[in-house]
Amino acid sequence: MLRPHAAWRTLLFLSLIAALQGARAEINVRFEGGDFPDLRANVEALVVDDEERDERSMARYSSFAKDQAAQAVKALGYYDPQITAEVVGQGEDVDLNLVIVPGQPVLIRNRTIRIEGPASEDSEFLLPDIKPLEPGEVLDHGAYSRVKGSIENRALELGYFASGFSEHQIQVNPQEHWADIVLVFKSGPRYLLGEVSFVGDHELSPDFLREYVPFEPGDQYRAGEIAGLNTSLANSGYFSQVYVDASPDKAKDLLIPITVNLEKRPRRSVAAGVGFSTDVGPRFSGKWEEHWINPQGHSRGLETEISAPRQNLSAWYEIPLTPPMTDTLRYSAGYQKEDIEDTESELLTVGGQWKHLQDNDWLRVISLRWHGERYTIGDSDEESTALLLPGIGYSKLHSDSAIDPSRGYRLRADLTGASDALLSQTNLLRLDTTAKGLITLFGKHRFLSRINFGWMATDNFRKIPPSLRFYAGGDQSVRGYAYKSLGPENADGDVIGGRYLVVGSMEYQYSLFKSWRLATFIDHGNALDSFSDPLATGVGAGVRWISPVGPLRLDVAKGLDDDLGGGWRLHFTIGPEL
C-alpha cells in the first residue's frame, strides 16, 4: 500500500504527464475567397503534426507545413495558392494558423482518352466514368489516377495481359491556368481460358469437380470466372482449402491452363450445442455429418434437438445435381414428439426435396413428403392423420452482415396441399408466409418489422394435424403471451389452432454501445378461424447484446388482452434478427 505522501507524488506525476500529452499543438486551416471543403479536407489530411513543439520549433515547422499545404491544393488543380503561416502563443502552448487563398484554378483544356488494339472492339471493355476529366473541369490529379487505374484493372479483369499505356501525361501551364490530358491505352490480344485440372488431396471424381467450372476451354478470360470457381469449391463443403492458379505466364497460344489445388476437409464431423428460449426452455442439439460418401459427392447426416416439450430426430441423404452450386436433391425422414399447452402429438415424416438457387438469389424448394401424425388435444380422444403433401416454397435473404446486419430483409412463402384422392385422409391447401425488414438510420436508430400470414382451405379441419394448424404467441410471435397459447378454442377452453394466422410486429432499437442496444416493441395478431376474430396485442422493452454467435435478446412484455391470456412475461432468445 502507498503511503499518503507517496500517493500524492504519484498523482502529481500522472497529472503532469497528462498535461504534457494534452499540450500538443493544433494546426488551424482557414480559406479565404470562398468555401473550399474538398481543399480543406485534403490539406487537413496531409498537414498533420503529432509532435510536441515550442514556439521556436513550430516556427521551423511552419515552412514545411506551408509546402505540404501547397501540394495538397495543387493536387486538386490550384497551382498558385497564397499561403501564410502564423505561430500563435508562447512557450510550449503554441498553435499554427494556416491562411490559404487558393487563387485561380487550372482548368482542363483538351482531353484525349483512347483505347487501341483488340480491346477497342471489345464490348466488355468499357471506359470508366471520365466526367471529372471533361474539358472545362478543374484539374484533379486524383481523378486522373483513378481513371488510369480503372483502365488498367479492366484490362487485367478481361485478360488483356500484354497491354499498357503508350501515352499517359498531364501537360500543365500554371501561368495560363490550363492543362491537357492524354491517356492512350494499347492492348494486345485477349487471353483465353484453358483446360482445368484438379490436383491435391481429395477423393472426388474429376468429372464431378468439373461441374463446378463455370466456363468451357476456349472461352475468353474473365477474372470473375476464376473467382467464381474458387468460391464455389470453397463453399461446397468438401474442402478445407482451395487455390486456383490461372497465371498468364503459363499460357500457350493465349490459352491459360487452370490448375486447382485442393485440400480435403475431415470426412466426418460432429457438432453439439446447448441453447435456451422461453418458448421451450433449455435445449440440446446435435449433428453428425459425413460430407462425402462416394466420388460423386453424396452426403448424409443425422440431426437431433431435445427440450422438455419437444424432441426430434431426423436423417437425410443429399445428392448434388447439375450444377451442384445451385441444385441439390435431399431425401429425409424424421420423428418428432411434442407436448405444448393443450396438445400432445407424435409426427413421422418421409420425403424428398429439390432445392434450386435461382439467378436472382431466390431459393426455390419443390418437395413431396408423407406426413403421419397422432395427436391429442385437451381431454379429447386420440386422433391420427396421414397426408401426402406436395409443396413448393420460395425464400430470399438479403443483408449486409450474416451475424449483425444493419439493413436487409427476409422473405419466405410455402404452399402445400393434399387430396383425399391421392393417399391423404382429407383435402388441404395451405399457405404460410413471413416477411422481415431491417433498416438503420444515423448509425444508432434501428427499425425492425415482421409480418406473418397464414391461410388454409380444407373440408375437414378436424383431420388437420396440429403441426399444420396455425398458432400464435411466444418469443417469435406475439410477446406477452405463452408459446402457442393464442388461437381458437374448443368448448373445454383448449387451444386447437386456427385456419388463418395474422401477426405483425414493429420494434425500435437504440445503440448504446458497440455491442449493446435498448429495444421497445409492439406485437399484434392471432391465429383465427375467421378474420373477424379478436387480435391480441403485446408491448414491451428489452436489451440486445451482440455476441460472437449473434444477438441475444431479453424482453419484458405485457400482453394487453387479459381475456386472451395476456400478462407480464419474460422472453429470451438467441439468433439472427432476420
Q: Mind listing the pLDDT tens digit for each residue in 193-236?
A: 999 999 998 999 999 999 999 999 999 999 999 999 999 999 99
pLDDT at 25: 64
- Rounded Cα distance between 434 and 453, Å, is 7
Q: Could you give the number of structural domains in the chain? A: 4
301-322 CB burial, b ≥16 within 10 A, e <16: bebbbebebbbbeeebbbbbee
Task: Determine if residue 564 is left, alpha or beta; phi over 0 gives left, psi from -120 to 50 gives alpha, anything else beta.
Answer: alpha
**DSSP type of residue 248:** G
Whether residue 132 is found in the same domain as residue 220: no
Contact 550, 574 (CB under 8 A): yes
Whether residue 198 is found in the same domain as residue 168: no
- Rounded Cα distance between 566 and 489, Å, is 15
Residue 1 lies in a domain: no
Whether residue 31 is found in the same domain as residue 128: no
Sheet holding 239-245, edge to edge: 192-201, 255-264, 239-245
pLDDT at 336: 97
Contact 508, 481 (CB under 8 A): no
Whether residue 256 is found in the same domain as residue 131: no
pLDDT at 5: 45
Residues of the chain scoring pLDDT < 70: 1-25, 49-50, 92
- Rounded Cα distance between 429 and 391, Å, is 10
Q: Model-level pTM greater than 0.85? A: no
Whether residue 538 is found in the same domain as residue 431: yes
pLDDT at 90: 75
pLDDT at 86: 86
C-alpha cell recorded at residue 435: 416477411
Single residue among 101, 134, 156 that ends a domain in this structure: 101
Whether residue 133 is found in the same domain as residue 258: no
Residue 447 structural domain: 268-574
Whether residue 213 is found in the same domain as residue 175: no
Single residue among 186, 205, 227 that ends a domain in this structure: 186
